[in-house]
């Protein structure tokens, strides 16, 4: 057990536990193709980090993983930039509304309770829906039933004005549809510290009607901008970004996502979705118990300790955050983007090398076929 002191959040955390949790959540994210924010933020709260610090630091972590994933899709040309920018324009307004709401509940001392309640309901709903969907998939696979789903159902969104063309997605949609989607995603990101992919992906499929191959990259592209805006606003308004917390989160998450994606290519993760859904429900129950029976959120706030014996790096971080919050927030964004970009480039360089090594290893261990010699006439 090796504890480090977080000078901004003013709590001691076990660095190995922090790395293990971020790595594990990253693996789950890569394996199931979901964002890890709605798991990592509650885990940070359980570790004793107050919600007002857990939310923005996890958003900064999401920024790094989104840069890494988005660049991978950029290499493959599976991004719709025009659609993404329209969603981002709504996301800017949504993040401002989210930060305003966050500030209001912080001033009246209810923000910790609000965040806990939001996560409790979110995880319970998402987990329950995933269990239902997983049971249906297993039943359909057992009965060998194939159901054709409509990807783009007509609804009232199609009647909105200001229709424009999105050439990459081959759509003729109202500009208000992606803007409204961005508004909701930005608000949720600012309040809860999640990227919003769990909202964006279904909406892009069933409401916007985008081609499936463009959705992951476009979703990550949007998350980059929304996460950066949320990070800078939290840094400026609350001074709550702690680089001593952000760096272990980013390192563990980026590595975990790479491992999860590789595992996803080797195994069928559909059978594990029900277990993942049960994990979400278990975390929701834990949050409910912690909030209503143990009063855990208030305990985590009371666990804050002021350490006057700071090392030179911690003291510099604390002073920098207090004296220049905008520059400090920009530094946190730059750090996340740099680490995310490095991870993407490393993956691009190492992927063919690893594939070649694995191919050579398989060929070497395969038994050689004996040549069949036919008798000469």
Range of the domain at 48: 3-348
Query: What pLDDT, on the 0 to 100 scale, is given for residue 142?
Result: 67
Q: Is the pLDDT of residue 319 over 90?
A: no
User: For 222-265, what is the HEC assignment?
Assistant: HHHHHHHHHHHHHHHHHCCCCHHHHHHHHHHHHHHHHHHHHHHH
pLDDT at 93: 93
- Which distant-in-sequence residues (6+ apart) come within 8 Å of 331 by Cβ? 243, 320
Task: With beta carbons less than 8 A apart as the criterion, state whether 296 and 113 touch.
Answer: no
pLDDT band of 97, cuts 50, 70, 90: very high
Whether the per-residue pLDDT at 67 is higher than 50: the answer is yes
> Which tens digit of pLDDT belongs to each residue from 228-272?
998 998 888 888 888 889 999 999 888 888 787 777 666 665 566
Q: Where are the beta strands (DSSP E) in the chain?
A: 3-6, 11-14, 163-166, 171-174
Output the pLDDT for position 154. 54
Q: What mean pLDDT do residues 60-72 have?
A: 83
Domain-embedded: residue 127: yes
Angle at 224 between CA 250 and CA 115, to 5 degrees: 70
Structure letter (DSSP) for residue 356 = H
Q: How far apart are CA 329 and CA 232, in angstroms?
A: 5
Residue 334: the pLDDT is: 92
CA-CA-CA-CA torsion sign (103, 105, 110, 115): negative
pLDDT at position 175: 82
Mean pLDDT of 37-48: 83
pLDDT at residue number 34: 65
- pLDDT for 344 equals 79
CA distance 2 to 134: 39
Give the residue with greater pLDDT, 356 vs 367: 356
- pLDDT at position 214 is 84
Q: How confident is the model at residue 151 (pLDDT cuts 50, 70, 90)?
A: very low
pLDDT at position 20: 92
pLDDT tier at 73, thresholds 50, 70, 90: confident
Percent of the chain topping pLDDT 90: 6
Q: Is residue 355 part of a domain?
A: no
The conformational region for residue 295 under phi > 0 = left, psi -120 to 50 = alpha, else beta, is left
Paired tokens of 357? 């090594």
Give mean pLDDT, residues 44-49. Answer: 86
pLDDT for residue 321 is more than 60: yes
CA distance 259 to 23: 9
Distance in angstroms (rounded) separating the CA atoms of residues 216 and 69: 9
What is the spatial distance between Cα 148 and Cα 151, in angstroms, rounded to a whole number?
9
| 61 falls within a domain | yes
Range ranked top by mean pLDDT from 124-138, 279-293, 320-334:
320-334
Report yes or no: 279 and 273 within 8 Å, Cβ to Cβ.
no
Pairing of strands 163-166, 11-14: unpaired
Domain annotation covers residue 334: yes
Mean pLDDT to the nearest integer, 337-357: 80
Residue 100 has pLDDT above 70, yes or no: yes
pLDDT, tens digit (0-9, with 9 covering 90-100), for 272-312:
667 777 877 888 888 777 777 665 444 444 455 555 556 78
pLDDT of residue 94: 92
Task: Kindly provide the b/e burial profile for residues 250-282, where b requires at least 16 CB atoms within 10 angstroms of the residue's own CB.
Answer: bbbbbbbbbebbeebeeeebeebbbebbeebbe
Res. 224: pLDDT tops 80: yes
Q: How far apart are CA 133 and CA 16, in angstroms?
A: 35
Q: Does residue 174 sit within a domain?
A: yes
Q: What is the DSSP string of 182-213?
A: HHHHHHHHHHH----HHHHHHHIIIII---GG
Q: Is the pLDDT of residue 145 over 70?
A: no
Query: Which residues, in sequence order, are CB contacts of 139 under 8 Å at separation 6+?
Result: 145
Does a structural domain hold residue 366? no
Q: Which two tokens stand for residue 87?
A: 């969603």
- Mean pLDDT for the chain? 78
pLDDT for 374: 53
Please give the Cα distance from 237 to 26 (Å, whole number).
Answer: 29
* CA-wise closest residue to 258 among 50, 128, 65, 82: 65
pLDDT at 183: 92
Average pLDDT over residues 132-159: 60
Confirm whether 362 is domain-assigned.
Answer: no
Rg, Å, the chain Cα set = 23
User: How many structural domains is the chain composed of?
Assistant: 1
Compute the distance between CA of residue 189 and CA of residue 187 in angstroms, rounded to an integer. Answer: 6
Write down the number of H helices and E strands in the chain.
Answer: 13, 4
C-alpha span between 142 and 144 (Å, rounded) = 5
Average pLDDT over residues 65-78: 80
Residue 240 resides in a domain: yes
Q: Which residue has the higher pLDDT, 2 or 12?
A: 12
Q: How confident is the model at residue 90 (pLDDT cuts 50, 70, 90)?
A: very high
Q: What is the pLDDT of residue 148?
A: 52
Task: Check residues 133 and 285 and name the one with the higher pLDDT.
Answer: 285
Contact 257, 65 (CB under 8 A): yes
**Per-residue pLDDT averaged across 40-59, rounded?**
86
């Amino acid at each position: 057990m090796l504890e480090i002191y977080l000078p901004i959040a003013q709590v001691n955390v076990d660095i190995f536990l922090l790395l293990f949790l971020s790595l594990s959540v990253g693996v789950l994210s890569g394996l199931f193709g979901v964002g890890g924010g709605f798991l990592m933020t509650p885990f940070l709260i359980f570790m004793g980090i107050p919600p007002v610090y857990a939310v923005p630091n996890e958003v900064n972590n999401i920024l790094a993983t989104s840069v890494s994933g988005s660049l991978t899709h950029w290499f493959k040309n599976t991004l719709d930039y025009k659609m993404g920018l329209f969603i981002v324009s709504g996301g800017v307004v949504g993040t401002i509304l989210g930060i305003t709401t966050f500030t209001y509940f912080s001033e009246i001392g209810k923000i910790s309770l609000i965040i806990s309640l939001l996560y409790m309901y979110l995880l319970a709903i998402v987990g329950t829906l995933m269990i239902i969907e997983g049971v249906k998939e297993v039943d359909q696979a057992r009965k060998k039933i194939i159901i054709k789903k409509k990807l783009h159902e007509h609804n009232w969104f199609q009647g909105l004005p200001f229709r424009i063309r999105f050439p990459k997605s081959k759509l003729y949609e109202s500009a208000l549809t992606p803007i409204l989607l961005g508004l909701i995603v930005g608000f949720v990101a600012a309040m809860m510290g999640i990227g919003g992919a769990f909202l964006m992906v279904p909406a892009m499929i069933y409401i916007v009607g985008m081609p499936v191959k463009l959705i992951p990259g476009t979703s990550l592209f949007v998350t980059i901008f929304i996460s950066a805006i949320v990070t800078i606003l939290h840094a400026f308004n609350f001074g709550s970004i702690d680089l001593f917390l952000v760096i272990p989160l980013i390192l563990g998450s980026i590595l975990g996502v790479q491992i999860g994606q590789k595992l996803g290519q080797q195994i069928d993760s559909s059978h594990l979705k029900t277990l993942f859904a049960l994990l979400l429900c278990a975390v929701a129950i834990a949050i409910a118990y912690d909030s209503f029976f143990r009063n855990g959120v208030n305990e985590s706030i009371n666990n804050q300790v002021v350490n006057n014996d700071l090392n030179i790096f911690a003291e510099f971080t604390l002073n920098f955050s207090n004296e220049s919050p905008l520059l400090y927030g920009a530094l946190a964004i730059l750090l996340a983007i740099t680490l995310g970009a490095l991870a993407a480039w490393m993956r691009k360089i190492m992927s063919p090398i690893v594939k070649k090594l694995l191919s050579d290893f398989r060929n070497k261990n395969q038994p050689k076929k004996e040549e069949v010699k036919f008798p000469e006439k």
